[in-house]
Amino acid sequence: MSDYSQQVALLELQLNNDSNRCLPAQLATKALIKEICLSPKPGLVDMNNSGAHRDMDFQTFIQSISAICVWFERFYQYGKTSALHDNNLFLAGIRPIGIECEQAMFKATNQVNTHKGGIFAFGLLLGAIGKLEQLNLPINIQSICNEVSSICQGIVQSELKQNNLTNSVGEKLFKRHNLTGARGEAESGYATVRNISLPIFQQMQKNSYDEETCLLQAMLHLLAFNQDTNVVSRGGLDGLAFVQEQAKNLIKQGGIINPKVRENLYQLDSELIKRNLSPGGSADLIAITWFLSQYNG
């Protein structure tokens, strides 16, 4: 068994052993476990190092997952009980749960932001699945993503274009560079995942590569194409262009199935650490890629 599979199995036992929890909540927890274990992830926290982060490490992420996974059931149940609400009301109702979950994360990590983007995304995905289930509608990649997109319809317009007041990282970057970040990705129904990383992940699976290799290849494509506001907040648009160019170069060489590229990933990790660049948004999308792959067909 690879280090990745061993660590995933260990953490599954430790963090995901409550069989009373609904399946979507268990899958979301699994997705976060797989993301943190996947290594090497350039600039990000993984099993090898803390990437470009000085305030968090692998253990911080385990504490974070342990604190937030108990909230996943709440998002799903909210989706069921609020299935008949219109989309605006649905979103307004799920946000306080998201904020409470964020607070639980900050408490568990000593105020470090490990999964703010992940909570936002999985809150919406689990809420959408609960709603679909309650309405007896089909549950698959397309229907889940359509539902998140409907729930978030107008969120970029209303929170980034009009009421851009709180000056969160996302709001500042929208003003400066027109980047729509986590909100844009949700409103598009996870277009970057559906159009880029998920097809790559599925193609690799079809070609019988192991899960770790499939996820690393999906990650390379996210690094190459995702407009990651975390990278921009630390390194500006030049930082984003650098990460994307490097990843595109590795893809051109065949990606992760070329053993030389696997080696180069370690070099890219060192380079991003040196430049203080961390693709935290892409980390979330890795987890979402795996999660959605479980709803294929």
Ligand X SMILES: CC(C)(COP(=O)(O)OP(=O)(O)OC[C@H]1O[C@@H](n2cnc3c(N)ncnc32)[C@H](O[C@H]2O[C@H](COP(=O)(O)OP(=O)(O)OP(=O)(O)O)[C@@H](O)[C@H]2O)[C@@H]1O)[C@@H](O)C(=O)NCCC(=O)NCCS
Ligand Y SMILES: Nc1ncnc2[nH]cnc12
Site string for ligand X, 50-69 (x = CB under 6 A): --------------------
Q: What is the enclosing helix (H) or strand (E) of 139? A: none
| C-alpha 274: how far from chain center | 24
Segment contacting ligand Y by CB under 6 A, of 45-53, 139-147, 173-181, 252-260: 45-53
Site string for ligand Y, 72-101 (x = CB under 6 A): ------------------------------
182 makes contact with ligand X (CB under 6 A): yes
Q: Are 66 and 108 in contact (CB under 8 A)?
A: yes
Query: Which residues, 49 to 68, sit near ligand Y by CB under 6 A?
Result: 51, 53
Nearer to ligand X, 9 or 99 (CB): 99
Residue nearest to ligand Y (CB): 283
Whole-angstrom distance, CA of residue 39 vs CA of residue 34: 10
Whole-angstrom distance, CA of residue 144 vs CA of residue 136: 13
- The dihedrals phi and psi of 273, each to the nearest 5 degrees, come to -65, -45
Among 35, 73, 212, 228, binds ligand X (CB under 6 A): 228
> For residue 210, what are its two tokens?
């192991």
Which distant-in-sequence residues (6+ apart) come within 8 Å of 145 by Cβ?
189, 190, 194, 292
Site string for ligand Y, 10-39 (x = CB under 6 A): -------------------------xx---
In sequence order, what DSSP letters do the residues of 239-264 get, joined into one string?
Answer: HHHHHHHHHHHHHHTTGGGSHHHHHH
Among 8, 124, 214, 224, binds ligand X (CB under 6 A): 124
User: Which one of ligand Y, ligand X, none interacts with residue 34, CB within 5 to 8 A by kind?
Assistant: none
280 makes contact with ligand Y (CB under 6 A): yes
67-96 burial, b at 16+ Cβ within 10 Å, e below that, comes to: bbbebbbbbbbbbbebbebebeebbeebee
Q: Are 255 and 215 in contact (CB under 8 A)?
A: no
Site string for ligand X, 268-287 (x = CB under 6 A): ----------x-xx--xx--
> For residue 204, what are its two tokens?
């690799």
Among 50, 125, 234, 291, binds ligand X (CB under 6 A): 234
User: Which one of ligand X, ligand Y, none interacts with residue 239, CB within 5 to 8 A by kind?
Assistant: none
241 makes contact with ligand X (CB under 6 A): no
229 makes contact with ligand X (CB under 6 A): yes
Among 181, 235, 239, 255, binds ligand X (CB under 6 A): 181
> For residue 14, what are its two tokens?
């430790």
Q: Are 115 and 92 in contact (CB under 8 A)?
A: no
Among 63, 87, 113, 249, binds ligand X (CB under 6 A): 113
Amino acid at 150: S
Could you list the residues that contact ligand X (CB under 6 A)? Answer: 94-95, 98-99, 102, 113-118, 120, 123-124, 168-171, 181-183, 185, 226-230, 233-234, 278, 280-281, 284-285
